Amino acid sequence: MIKNVFETVVLDELEKMLIRQAGSIVHYPKGHTIFAAGDFADRVYLIESGWVKIYRLSTDGRRVTVGSIRSPGELMGLAETLWGGERTCFAGAINNVSLVVLRKNKFEELMATHPFLAIKIAKLLGARMREAEGIIHEMVSWQAPGRLALTLLKIGERCGVETKGGIRIGLPLTHEELANMVGTSRQTVTSLLNTFKQEKSITYEGREIKIVNPDKLAKWII
Amino acid sequence: MIKNVFETVVLDELEKMLIRQAGSIVHYPKGHTIFAAGDFADRVYLIESGWVKIYRLSTDGRRVTVGSIRSPGELMGLAETLWGGERTCFAGAINNVSLVVLRKNKFEELMATHPFLAIKIAKLLGARMREAEGIIHEMVSWQAPGRLALTLLKIGERCGVETKGGIRIGLPLTHEELANMVGTSRQTVTSLLNTFKQEKSITYEGREIKIVNPDKLAKWII
DNA sequence: GTTTTAATGTCGACTGGATGACATTATGAT
DNA sequence: ATCATAATGTCATCCAGTCGACATTAAAAC
């Protein structure tokens, strides 16, 4: 059923080196906002370590995680920088983060001199496009339980740690944040997670979630 | 509020000529399926005339329009071809359509020899990415009336015809299709459209919709 | 440690919108 | 014109999920 929830195109070492050489490294502490909506989108970031969440704010102030979570090795701020206007979303450091920053003109220069990089970027955006379309599809046609289950599986696959007895999601994700990703209310997430826990699809480890039975969890997806 | 619902990156004539020379032209009659989920994604299309809708099918057979509608001058089938696996969505000809077909290897060759094309493709995908993220945001945080209103405005902007007394949407869009785009039921669309009509934001012209008062319509967005 | 604050658990009232059922009206086909 | 089919209008029913309100628990801050 879920063979491959995720299809990521990753940069290879050469490509990363090119970016590192053209850019410079910066660090952000946990909780810091790396960029915000309204900022001029004139730089892209390569994540060296740490996790970053991309989200938007709706008019009523609700936070909506829209671009999911970016992990080490990934580029972020890409789409908006290529477009060149103002950013429409925020990037927040989930934990301490190190990034390579690269200014827009340098980045475009790099693509122009290294066509294979430009093609790679295009492929990467293509993959993200597919992912985004998948999310739209899910949002429209699935109910809350399925959306939450899939979101957990995706996060697990992307930034979970394989341990004995399951995949631990080592991120400080509150129910509210999950609710924002899934498009539901905090209360619904709380009770759904408890349902999953009773079913022994997941367990709590302190406040962190561990996926014990991915297949059982995947049953909710429909 | 809605200054610019749409941000499209368009190919210039030179870029289109490159594609035309490398590919070949084909025609599809109204209603025909240009590609389907499961097909191997080995070609991209440049639309010369006509409109194409991109949609997915959910497990229960419901149609979900996910990538909106593509108009003349636009590329389609891009993201999946760059990725290279199977298609996950369908492309259906809304009316008679002429397209340039370009095979994947030819397309990649073109990008490799013309870096500026590769960069353009990246920018184009970046713009679509932003759009897709916008849709996710809307799906999550708005109710049916707002989603429908915005969808009408977007379609109007993209493929509407400016006439005295409003923008005519000259597409055979049924309530069911709108429902699929908006993620709601056919009945809800029917009654919402009637509400809009009573408010004189829109009128019917036979079965086609004309947006008479975009600002009033935009009021529903929140 | 104690206090403050944030996160979670739980409940009942309320509601947007889905669903099914059916009438009506277009639109096409022959 | 006549029939068949697809699209629209309208309604009553029902339920998932929201919202507010509050208790409880965990984590930070002091």
Summarised one tens digit per residue, pLDDT across range A83-138 is 888 998 889 888 889 999 999 999 999 999 999 999 999 999 999 998 888 888 88
Asked if A122 and B127 come within 8 Å (Cβ–Cβ), the reply is no
Instruction: Report helix, strand or coil for A75.
Output: strand
Cα R_g (chain B), whole angstroms:
18
| Alpha carbon distance A172, A72 (integer Å) | 17
Is B65:B177 a contact under the CB 8 Å cutoff? yes
- Report the 10 Å Cβ neighbour count for B200: 10
The reported pTM is: 0.87
Instruction: Report helix, strand or coil for B53.
Output: strand
| Alpha carbon distance A208, A171 (integer Å) | 7
pLDDT at res. A63 = 65
pLDDT at res. A160 = 83
- Quickly state the pLDDT bin for A75 (edges 50, 70, 90): very high
Q: A 112-151 residues with CB below 8 A of B?
A: 112-113, 115-116, 118-119, 121-123, 125-130, 132-137, 139-142
- Quickly state the pLDDT bin for A5 (edges 50, 70, 90): low
Measured in angstroms, the CA of B29 and the nearest CA of chain A are apart by: 26
pLDDT at res. B2 = 38
Calculate mean pLDDT across residues A66-71.
76
Beta-ladder partners of A88: none
**In the structure, how far is the CA atom of residue A222 from the C1' atom of nucleotide D30, in angstroms?**
49
pLDDT at res. B160 = 83
pLDDT at res. A104 = 95
Chain B touched by A2 (CB under 8 Å): no
Question: Over 90: is that where the pLDDT of A42 sits?
Answer: yes
The nucleotide whose C1' lies nearest the CA of A191 is C9
Interface probe for B, chosen from A141, A148, A176 (most Cβ of B below 10 Å), is: A141
| Alpha carbon distance B145, B202 (integer Å) | 14
Measured in angstroms, the CA of A91 and the nearest CA of chain B are apart by: 14
Task: Give residues with Cβ within 8 angstroms of A91, minimum separation 6.
Answer: A33, A34, A35, A45, A52, A53, A54, A70, A76, A77
Average pLDDT score over chain A: 88
Q: CB burial class (10 A; 0-12, 13-18, 19+) of residue A1? A: exposed
Is B45:B76 a contact under the CB 8 Å cutoff? yes
Tokens, residue B90: 């369908």
| Alpha carbon distance A6, A128 (integer Å) | 10
pLDDT at res. A66 = 63
pLDDT at res. A61 = 61
pLDDT at res. A132 = 87
| Alpha carbon distance B156, B140 (integer Å) | 23
% residues pLDDT > 70 (chain A): 92
Sheet holding B33-35, edge to edge: B33-35, B90-93, B52-57, B63-70
Asked if A83 and B134 come within 8 Å (Cβ–Cβ), the reply is no
Is B222:B1 a contact under the CB 8 Å cutoff? no
**In the structure, how far is the CA atom of residue A46 from the C1' atom of nucleotide C2, in angstroms?**
44
**Residues of chain A neighbouring B88 (CB-CB closer than 8 A):** 130, 133-134
Residue for token pair 């013309």: B114
A158-161 long-range contacts, CB within 8 A, separation 24+:
A158/A6, A158/A68, A158/A69, A158/A71, A159/A51, A159/A69, A159/A71, A160/A211
Chain B touched by A80 (CB under 8 Å): yes
Calculate mean pLDDT across residues A65-93.
87
Q: For residue B205, what is the enclosing H or E element?
A: strand B202-205
Residue for token pair 């639309």: B47
Question: Over 90: is that where the pLDDT of A16 sits?
Answer: yes
Nearest to A62 among B116, B126, B141 (CB): B141
pLDDT lower than 70: segments of chain B? 1-7, 59-63, 65-67
Question: Over 80: is that where the pLDDT of A153 sits?
Answer: yes
Nearest to A82 among B88, B123, B136 (CB): B123
Q: For residue B167, what is the enclosing H or E element?
A: strand B166-169
Is B56:B90 a contact under the CB 8 Å cutoff? yes
Instruction: Report helix, strand or coil for B35.
Output: strand
